[in-house]
Structure 1
Amino acid sequence: MHVLSPQASSASSADPFQLERLAEELASRELSHPAQADLQDGASHDLPIYIPLSHENPFLSAENFDVEEFLLSRSHTSLQDLRTELRNYLATLKEELVKLINDDYEAFISLSTDLREEGDRLVGLKIPLSALKSQIAISKAELRAIQNEIMQKLEQRTVIREEKALLHLLLKISESVTRLESLLSITNPSQDEETIEYERFKVSSISTSLENTDERSIANKAKHLNRAAVEYTQLLYHASKARSENCAFVDEIQWKIDRIQSSLSSDLDALFASTLSAIAGDVKLSELEKSKILPDLTECIRTYDVLGLWRDAEEILRSEVMRPFIRKTVFTGALSAPHSPLLPHTPFRSSMGTGFPHSSSTIPPRTPFTPFTAFSTQQSAFPSALGKTKSPYSRLLDNNDDPLAKLYTQILRFVERDFSSIMDTAEKVCIKSRASTGPLQVGGLENGRNRDGVGFDIMANVIWHELGKAIMDDLGGMVFASGRPDEFRKNYEITQAFIRSLDFMAPSAQAVQSMRSHPVYSMFEKRWQLPVYFQMRWKEIVSKVEEALALPVELSDNLTMTADSLITPQATAIWVALTACWSAEIYIPELSYRFWRLTLQLLSRYRVWLNDVVQDNIHGFLNSSNTINTGKISEANTRSPTPGLSEKPSIEAFAADESTLVKYVSFVADIKTLQSSTMTLWHEEICMMLPDPDEQDEQEEEPKPQDALENAVGAISALIIPISNTIIAILTERCIVSLNAVKKIRTDLRAKANKQLPTEPHPWIPSILRPLKVFFGTSGKSGVGAVLKAEYLVPWSSRVFENVCEKYIAHVSTLKKAEESLRRLKRGAKSTTFSLFGSANPKDDEGRDEERIRIQLILDVEALRKDAETLGIIPGNSEAFTALSNLVQNDEPQESS
Structure 2
Amino acid sequence: MTLPKGPDSLCFDKDEFMKDDFDVDKFVADCRKRVQLEEMREDLEQYYRLLKTAMVELINKDYADFVNLSTNLVGMDKALNQLSVPLGQLREEVLSLRSSVNEVIEAIDTQLSKQDDIQKKKLCVLRLIQVVRSVEKIEKILHQNTKDTTSLETSSPLLAGQILERIATEFNQLQFHAVQSKGMPLLDKVRPRIAGITAMLQQSLEGLLIQGLQTSNIDIVRHCLRTYATIDKTRDAEALVGQVLVKPYMDEVIVEQFVKSNPNGLKMMYTKLLEFVPHHCRLLREVTGGAVSSDKADIVPGYDFLVNSVWPEIIRGVEERIPSLFNPGNPDAFYERYTVSMDFVRKFERQCGSQASVKRLRAHPCYQSFHNKWNLPVYFQLRFKEIAGSLENAISDGLEAAPAGSSYHLQVTEVLWSCVCRCWADQVYLPPLAHRFWKLTLQLISRYSTFLTEEVPTRASAYMDNALQPLHQLVTDSKNVVKDSIIQEWLRVTLSDCTHRYFETISDVLSSVRKMEESLKRLKQARKTTTTSTAGVNAGPSDDSKIRLQLALDVEYLGEQIQKMGLQQSDITMFSSLLELVQEARDLASAEQTGS
Q: Kindly indicate whether the alpha-carbon contact (under 8 Å) linking 1:219 and 1:295 is maintained by their aligned counterparts in 2.
A: yes
CA distance in 2 between counterparts of 1:91 and 1:75 reads: 20
SS of equivalent to 2:156: helix
Identify if the C-alpha distance between structure 1 residues 506 and 106 changes in structure 2 by more than 3 Å, giving closer, same or farther.
same
Who is 1:173 aligned against? 131
The match for 2:424 among 575, 582, 593 is: 582
Identify if the C-alpha distance between structure 1 residues 59 and 309 changes in structure 2 by more than 3 Å, giving closer, same or farther.
closer
CA distance in 2 between counterparts of 1:561 and 1:575 reads: 15
Q: Kindly indicate whether the alpha-carbon contact (under 8 Å) linking 1:53 and 1:89 is maintained by their aligned counterparts in 2.
A: no
Q: Given the alignment of the two structures, is residue 335 of structure 1 paired with residue 293 of structure 2, yes or no?
A: no
The match for 1:414 among 262, 276, 280 is: 276
SS of equivalent to 1:335: helix
CA distance in 2 between counterparts of 1:486 and 1:670 reads: 39
Who is 2:211 aligned against? 274
Q: Given the alignment of the two structures, is residue 465 of structure 1 paired with residue 465 of structure 2, yes or no?
A: no
Q: Kindly indicate whether the alpha-carbon contact (under 8 Å) linking 2:424 and 2:437 is maintained by their aligned counterparts in 1.
A: yes
The match for 2:329 among 455, 480, 483 is: 483
Q: Given the alignment of the two structures, is residue 604 of structure 1 paired with residue 446 of structure 2, yes or no?
A: yes
SS of equivalent to 1:208: coil
Who is 2:389 aligned against? 543
Q: Write the deviation string for residues 646-666 of structure 1: whole angstroms up to 9, x where unpaired.
A: xxxxxx999979735523525
Who is 1:310 aligned against? 234
Who is 1:252 aligned against? 189
Identify if the C-alpha distance between structure 1 residues 667 and 423 changes in structure 2 by more than 3 Å, giving closer, same or farther.
farther
Alignment-mate amino acid for residue 275 of structure 1? G
CA distance in 1 between counterparts of 2:395 and 2:160 reads: 79
Q: Kindly indicate whether the alpha-carbon contact (under 8 Å) linking 2:400 and 2:411 is maintained by their aligned counterparts in 1.
A: no
Q: Kindly indicate whether the alpha-carbon contact (under 8 Å) linking 1:59 and 1:65 is maintained by their aligned counterparts in 2.
A: no
Q: Kindly indicate whether the alpha-carbon contact (under 8 Å) linking 1:59 and 1:66 is maintained by their aligned counterparts in 2.
A: no
Deviation at 1:225, TM superposition (A): 1.7
Identify if the C-alpha distance between structure 1 residues 52 and 137 changes in structure 2 by more than 3 Å, giving closer, same or farther.
closer
CA distance in 2 between counterparts of 1:172 and 1:272 reads: 29
Residue identity (%)? 25
Identify if the C-alpha distance between structure 1 residues 611 and 658 changes in structure 2 by more than 3 Å, giving closer, same or farther.
farther
Deviation at 1:172, TM superposition (A): 1.4
Q: Given the alignment of the two structures, is residue 208 of structure 1 paired with residue 150 of structure 2, yes or no?
A: yes
Who is 1:264 aligned against? 201
Identify if the C-alpha distance between structure 1 residues 566 and 259 changes in structure 2 by more than 3 Å, giving closer, same or farther.
same
Who is 1:889 aligned against? none
- Report matched runs for 1:53-202 at 5 Å: 56=14, 96-108=54-66, 158-183=116-141, 185=142, 199=143, 202=144
CA distance in 2 between counterparts of 1:667 and 1:608 reads: 20
Q: Write the deviation string for residues 243-291 of structure 1: whole angstroms up to 9, x where unpaired.
A: 3xx5322232222222222221222122122223x15xxxxxxxxxx3x
Deviation at 1:402, TM superposition (A): 0.7
Alignment-mate amino acid for residue 331 of structure 1? V
SS of equivalent to 1:333: helix
Deviation at 1:58, TM superposition (A): 6.4
Q: Kindly indicate whether the alpha-carbon contact (under 8 Å) linking 1:614 and 1:723 is maintained by their aligned counterparts in 2.
A: no
CA distance in 1 between counterparts of 2:419 and 2:434 reads: 15
Identify if the C-alpha distance between structure 1 residues 60 and 599 changes in structure 2 by more than 3 Å, giving closer, same or farther.
closer
Q: Kindly indicate whether the alpha-carbon contact (under 8 Å) linking 2:409 and 2:505 is maintained by their aligned counterparts in 1.
A: no
Identify if the C-alpha distance between structure 1 residues 567 and 175 changes in structure 2 by more than 3 Å, giving closer, same or farther.
same
Identify if the C-alpha distance between structure 1 residues 653 and 255 changes in structure 2 by more than 3 Å, giving closer, same or farther.
same
Identify if the C-alpha distance between structure 1 residues 58 and 500 changes in structure 2 by more than 3 Å, giving closer, same or farther.
closer
Q: Kindly indicate whether the alpha-carbon contact (under 8 Å) linking 1:581 and 1:587 is maintained by their aligned counterparts in 2.
A: yes
Q: Kindly indicate whether the alpha-carbon contact (under 8 Å) linking 2:290 and 2:353 is maintained by their aligned counterparts in 1.
A: no
CA distance in 2 between counterparts of 1:610 and 1:309 reads: 70
The number of residues matched between the two structures is: 485
Q: Write the deviation string for residues 668-695 of structure 1: whole angstroms up to 9, x where unpaired.
A: 77999xxxxxxxxxxxxxxxxxxxxxxx
SS of equivalent to 1:308: coil
Deviation at 1:140, TM superposition (A): 6.5
Alignment-mate amino acid for residue 591 of structure 1? L
Identify if the C-alpha distance between structure 1 residues 663 and 149 changes in structure 2 by more than 3 Å, giving closer, same or farther.
same
CA distance in 2 between counterparts of 1:412 and 1:670 reads: 59
Identify if the C-alpha distance between structure 1 residues 572 and 154 changes in structure 2 by more than 3 Å, giving closer, same or farther.
closer
Alignment-mate amino acid for residue 314 of structure 1? E
SS of equivalent to 2:444: helix
Q: Write the deviation string for residues 111-163 of structure 1: whole angstroms up to 9, x where unpaired.
A: 77877778777777777667766776777777667666666666665555544
**Which shifted more, 172-181 or 659-668?**
659-668
Q: Given the alignment of the two structures, is residue 529 of structure 1 paired with residue 468 of structure 2, yes or no?
A: no
Who is 1:868 aligned against? none
Deviation at 1:414, TM superposition (A): 1.3
Identify if the C-alpha distance between structure 1 residues 543 and 64 changes in structure 2 by more than 3 Å, giving closer, same or farther.
closer
Q: Kindly indicate whether the alpha-carbon contact (under 8 Å) linking 1:561 and 1:567 is maintained by their aligned counterparts in 2.
A: no
Identify if the C-alpha distance between structure 1 residues 504 and 664 changes in structure 2 by more than 3 Å, giving closer, same or farther.
farther
Which consecutive unaligned segments of at least 5 residues does structure 2 have? 1-8, 295-299, 462-494, 516-541, 552-580, 582-587, 589-596
Q: Kindly indicate whether the alpha-carbon contact (under 8 Å) linking 2:165 and 2:227 is maintained by their aligned counterparts in 1.
A: yes
CA distance in 2 between counterparts of 1:124 and 1:721 reads: 130
**Which protein shows a greater Rg?**
1
Alignment-mate amino acid for residue 157 of structure 2? I
Who is 1:234 aligned against? 173
The match for 2:508 among 657, 665, 689 is: 665
Identify if the C-alpha distance between structure 1 residues 69 and 261 changes in structure 2 by more than 3 Å, giving closer, same or farther.
same
Q: Given the alignment of the two structures, is residue 403 of structure 1 paired with residue 265 of structure 2, yes or no?
A: yes
Q: Kindly indicate whether the alpha-carbon contact (under 8 Å) linking 1:268 and 1:300 is maintained by their aligned counterparts in 2.
A: yes
CA distance in 2 between counterparts of 1:458 and 1:591 reads: 32
Identify if the C-alpha distance between structure 1 residues 601 and 157 changes in structure 2 by more than 3 Å, giving closer, same or farther.
closer
- TM-score using structure 1 length: 0.45
Q: Kindly indicate whether the alpha-carbon contact (under 8 Å) linking 1:326 and 1:466 is maintained by their aligned counterparts in 2.
A: yes
CA distance in 1 between counterparts of 2:345 and 2:514 reads: 43
Q: Write the deviation string for residues 712-757 of structure 1: whole angstroms up to 9, x where unpaired.
A: xxxxxx9679879999xxxxxxxxxxxxxxxxxxxxxxxxxxxxxx
CA distance in 2 between counterparts of 1:67 and 1:416 reads: 96
Deviation at 1:504, TM superposition (A): 1.5
**Which shifted more, 223-232 or 54-63?**
54-63
Q: Kindly indicate whether the alpha-carbon contact (under 8 Å) linking 2:218 and 2:287 is maintained by their aligned counterparts in 1.
A: no
Who is 1:633 aligned against? none
The match for 2:414 among 551, 562, 572 is: 572
Alignment-mate amino acid for residue 582 of structure 1? W
Q: Kindly indicate whether the alpha-carbon contact (under 8 Å) linking 1:566 and 1:669 is maintained by their aligned counterparts in 2.
A: no
Who is 1:218 aligned against? 157
Q: Write the deviation string for residues 842-892 of structure 1: whole angstroms up to 9, x where unpaired.
A: xxxxxxxxxxxxxxxxxxxxxxxxxxxxxxxxxxxxxxxxxxxxxxxxxxx
SS of equivalent to 1:221: helix
Q: Kindly indicate whether the alpha-carbon contact (under 8 Å) linking 2:457 and 2:550 is maintained by their aligned counterparts in 1.
A: no
Q: Write the deviation string for residues 822-842 of structure 1: whole angstroms up to 9, x where unpaired.
A: xxxxxxxxxxxxxxxxxxxxx
CA distance in 1 between counterparts of 2:428 and 2:513 reads: 25
Deviation at 1:164, TM superposition (A): 4.0
The alignment yields a C-alpha RMSD, in angstroms, of 5.4
Q: Judging by fraction of residues, say which structure has more helix.
A: 2
CA distance in 2 between counterparts of 1:464 and 1:606 reads: 47
